[in-house]
Amino acid sequence: MNEVIVELEERSYPIFVGNGLLKTIDGLIGEHLAGRSVCIVTDSNLKERFLPDVERSLSRCARAVHRCVFPAGEASKRLSTIEAICREAVRAGLDRNSVFVALGGGVCGDMTGFAASVYMRGTRFIQIPTSLLAMVDSSVGGKTGVDLPEGKNLVGAFFQPEAVVIDTAFLETLPKRELSCGYAELIKTAVILDETLFAFLEADAGALLPHPAPAQTIEAVSRCCTLKAGVVAADEKESSQRAILNYGHTFGHAIEAVTGYTKVEHGEAVAIGMSVAARLAVSLGFISRETAERQDALLRAFALPVTVPEGCSAEAVLQAMGADKKNSNGKLKLILPERIGKAGIHTDVPREMILNAIRERSAQ
C-alpha cells in the first residue's frame, strides 16, 4: 500500500492506495469513525455490487451505519439530490459529528462532499472512489459541485475530505470506456507535470488496459495523486497554478457542449482537447511536432480519440470556449504544453491560431 499526504496544514489528509484495501479499511479510517454515525452515499449501479461489503467493514468501527442511494448518472448531479441526501441524513438522525462516506465515481464524490459541506453547516466526509477518474482526479483536492440547467459544476464548494481510500480492486468491474476516460486525466497530469509518469504509461500501457494489473495500477494512481496533491497544496482554491490541471479542458468542455453531452464522454473530450492544445503549442513554437505526436500516440494506446468529431466546426468550438467559466475577465485562458512534463497558462493566443489548431485536428 502507498500513502500520499495532501498537505493543507490543519486540514491535511491521507490518500491510501492499494489493492484489496476494503478488507482492512477499518484499520485505515477507523479512528475517523469510532463512536460516530456514518452515512454511506452511493449510486444505484453500485448499491448491490459494493455497498454490502463496505457497510460490513465500516460497522466494525462506527456507532451506526446508514445508507443513501441516488440514481446513477450525471443527471443526478443537481441541487435536488443534495436536498435528498440531507433529508435522508436527518431522518437517520445524523448530527454534526457524523461522517458522510462517498462510495462511487466522480458524481457520488462531488455530491457527497457538497452535502457534507452544508449539512448542519458542515460535517466530515471520506472518499472511497470506485471509478478511475474519481481515483486520480475528483476525489483529490476538495472541489465539489452540482450542475445547473445553465451549465455544469456551477454551484459547489471547496471542501476537503478527512481521508481518501483508493482500492484499485474496484476497477475490475469498471466498463472499459470509463477506464479509458480515467486514463485521459492521468495522461493529462503526466503531460503537464511529470515526464517520468508519461514514460511509465508509455512502457506499461499493456499492463494498465484493458485489464489493470494491480502493481502497475497502484504505481500510476499513487504517482498521479502525489502530483495533484502537490498542485492543490500550493494553490487550493485555484487562484493561479491549479489552473494547469485544466489542460485539454477548455477545448474539451467546448466539444462536449457542441456535441450536446451525448456522443463524447468527458475523458474523451479532454483527450481531443489535449491533442488540439498540443497542435496549438506546435504552431506557437513551444513544442515540436514529434512531441505532439508522442502525446497523441499515448492517448491512442489508451483507446482515446484524438480528432474533433464530425459536425463539430472550429467556429462552434471557439464560440463555446468563450462561455467556459474557467475564463477570467473575459479573456480566454489556455493551458499549453512547453515539453512533456511542463505546461504554462496563456491568455493572449490569436483567435485565428486557435481556429487553425482545431481545424488541424478535425476529422477530414
Ligand X SMILES: NC(=O)c1ccc[n+]([C@@H]2O[C@H](COP(=O)([O-])OP(=O)(O)OC[C@H]3O[C@@H](n4cnc5c(N)ncnc54)[C@H](O)[C@@H]3O)[C@@H](O)[C@H]2O)c1
Residue 130 or 222: the one with the smaller Cβ distance to ligand X is 130
Q: Residue 173 interacts with ligand X (CB under 6 A)?
A: yes
| CB-based closest residue to ligand X | 106
Q: Residue 141 interacts with ligand X (CB under 6 A)?
A: yes
Q: Residue 138 interacts with ligand X (CB under 6 A)?
A: yes
Q: Where does this chain touch ligand X (CB under 6 A) — which range of 31-39, 138-146, 247-255, 312-320? A: 138-146
Q: What minimum distance in Å lies between the beta carbon of 207 and ligand X? A: 19
With the CA atoms of 270, 275, 280 and 282 taken in that order, what torsion angle do they form, in degrees rounded to the nearest 10?
Answer: 140
Grid coordinates of 19: 489493492
143 labelled catalytic: yes
Pattern 37-76, ligand X, x by CB under 6 A: ------x-xx-------------------------xxx--
Q: What minimum distance in Å lies between the beta carbon of 101 and ligand X? A: 15
Which of 67, 246, 279, 361 is an active site residue?
246
Q: Note whether 295 and 337 are within 8 A (CB).
A: yes
Phi-psi region of 3 (alpha: psi -120 to 50; beta: other; left: phi over 0): beta
Which of 10, 121, 150, 352 is an active site residue?
121
Name the residue among 33, 36, 28, 212 with its Cα closest to residue 136. Answer: 212
236 labelled catalytic: no
Q: What is the DSSP letter of 210?
A: S
How many residues bind ligand X (CB under 6 A)? The answer is 27
253 labelled catalytic: yes
Q: What minimum distance in Å lies between the beta carbon of 136 and ligand X? A: 9
Q: Residue 153 interacts with ligand X (CB under 6 A)?
A: yes
Q: What minimum distance in Å lies between the beta carbon of 72 and ligand X? A: 4
Q: Give first-to-last CA distance, the chain, whole Å.
A: 47
Among 67, 77, 228, 253, binds ligand X (CB under 6 A): 77
185 labelled catalytic: yes
Name the residue among 167, 168, 166 with its Cα closest to residue 217. Answer: 168
- Listed in sequence order, the residues at least 6 apart from 106 whose beta carbon sits closer than 8 Å to its beta carbon are 129, 131, 133, 134, 137, 138, 139
Grid coordinates of 309: 468529431
Pattern 98-127, ligand X, x by CB under 6 A: ------xxxxx-x-----------------
Which of 77, 143, 223, 361 is an active site residue?
143
Q: What is the DSSP letter of 101?
A: E
Q: Residue 225 interacts with ligand X (CB under 6 A)?
A: no
Name the residue among 73, 71, 105, 97 with its Cα closest to residue 85. Answer: 71
SS3 182: helix
Grid coordinates of 135: 481515483
- CA-CA distance, 48 to 44, in Å (whole number)? 8
- CA-CA distance, 298 to 202, in Å (whole number)? 6
Which of 238, 293, 338, 360 is an active site residue?
238
- CA-CA distance, 5 to 100, in Å (whole number)? 20
361 labelled catalytic: no
Q: Note whether 250 and 321 are within 8 A (CB).
A: yes
Among 1, 36, 64, 178, binds ligand X (CB under 6 A): 178
Residue 267 or 292: the one with the smaller Cβ distance to ligand X is 267
The residues assigned a catalytic role are 121, 143, 185, 228, 238, 242, 246, 249, 253, 266
Q: Which residues of this protein are in contact with ligand X, per CB under 6 A?
A: 43, 45-46, 72-74, 77, 104-108, 110, 130-131, 133-134, 137-138, 141, 143-144, 153, 170, 173-174, 178
